[in-house]
Amino acid sequence: MVNTKVNLCGVELDNPIIPASGTFGFGYEFARLYDINVLGSLSFKGTTKDPRFGNPTPRIAECESGMLNSVGLQNPGVDKVISEELPKLKACFNKPVMANVSGFSVKDYVYTVEKLDSESQIGWFEINISCPNVHGGGLAFGTSAENAAAVTKAVKKVTKKPVIIKLSPNVTDITEIAKACEAEGADGISLINTLLGMKIDLKTKKPVLANKAGGFSGPAIKPVAVRMIYQVYDAVKIPIVGMGGVATAEDVIELMLAGATAVEVGAANLVEPFACKNIIEDLPRVMEKYKINNLSDIIGGAH
């Protein structure tokens, strides 16, 4: 009998599978399809200080081996997440969840984390630093080691729960940013977020997305994810939550061998709502095929 349990920043998961933020709503929407308690955990929809309507449409475009999105962090704001969304999730999911937090200034991140901190069902914070820094010329927090460190330091001051920093792959050296976050007390690193991409409609001769560019995700980005996870595993001592193009149990094993402790599934949920459930059910078979008894034994096994 194989053991799929892993330990993420002191919290034990039945398995490493976590639906990625932005691809699984607040979780309860999928509970109508299957018992979501089979999941290791889930990262709920990116939450900001204030409600956000999101970007103009169209904001989704299909591509070869993936998709582009420019949703724009649409969410009801932290107060409504606490009063309306989390109680619905609690009614159908009895495990700790990951709170994905976004912001446009350091104060935004601190405010939202502080508000969510007292929610008992939140086991970790996943801090999305791929947002534009409105006080820093609009560049994403995650493209600068200094800015990434500043967000990490500020957030760590207002919560005792594990803080996992979600990094942008749109940088020259991912390890420099990961190390800066670790130095300021990050408990884990989450990567990779989407790659920046664009699609042009040949008939209209204009970009398909209203926002012109968007985040590219799906199977095509998996080799980039594997490479970056591998590099960051060598650079830091804290656990990694890996993601990027994961669609099968084999993909999960590959990201774990590169260095991931847990694995998020993103775009695959939008193609197949049962993707996470299918991966979890297939994990034991794949583990047996590759003679893996304990999943936690293979973390970083490719090094």
Task: State the DSSP string of 12-66.
Answer: EESSSEEEPTTSSTTSTTGGGTS-GGGSS--BPPPB-SS-B--PPSP-EEEETTE
Number of domains in the chain: 1
Q: Would you state the pLDDT for residue 132?
A: 77
In a domain, 17, yes or no: yes
**Through-space distance between the first and last CA atoms of the chain, rounded to whole angstroms:** 26
The SS3 of residue 135 is coil
Residue 80's domain comprises 6-54+73-198+216-298
Q: Would you state the pLDDT for residue 293?
A: 98
In a domain, 64, yes or no: no
| Phi, psi (deg, nearest 5) at residue 125 | -105, 130
Q: Would you state the pLDDT for residue 218?
A: 97
pTM passes above 0.85: yes
In a domain, 61, yes or no: no
pLDDT tens for each residue of the chain, 303 residues long: 999 999 999 999 999 999 999 999 999 999 999 999 999 999 999 999 999 999 999 999 999 999 999 999 999 999 999 999 999 999 999 999 999 999 999 999 999 999 999 999 999 999 999 887 778 777 889 999 999 999 999 999 999 999 999 999 999 999 999 999 999 999 999 999 999 999 999 999 999 999 999 999 999 999 999 999 999 999 999 999 999 999 999 999 999 999 999 999 999 999 999 999 999 999 999 999 999 999 999 999 999
Which tokens go with 141? 């927090």
Q: Would you state the pLDDT for residue 138?
A: 74
In a domain, 66, yes or no: no
Helix (H) or strand (E) holding 96: none
Q: Would you state the pLDDT for residue 133?
A: 78
Catalytic positions: 131
CATH number at residue 240: 3.20.20.70
Residue 109 to residue 183: CA distance in whole angstroms: 19
Which tokens go with 107? 């104060």
Cis peptide before 192 (omega within 30 of 0): yes
In a domain, 68, yes or no: no
In a domain, 193, yes or no: yes
Q: Would you state the pLDDT for residue 279?
A: 98
In a domain, 261, yes or no: yes
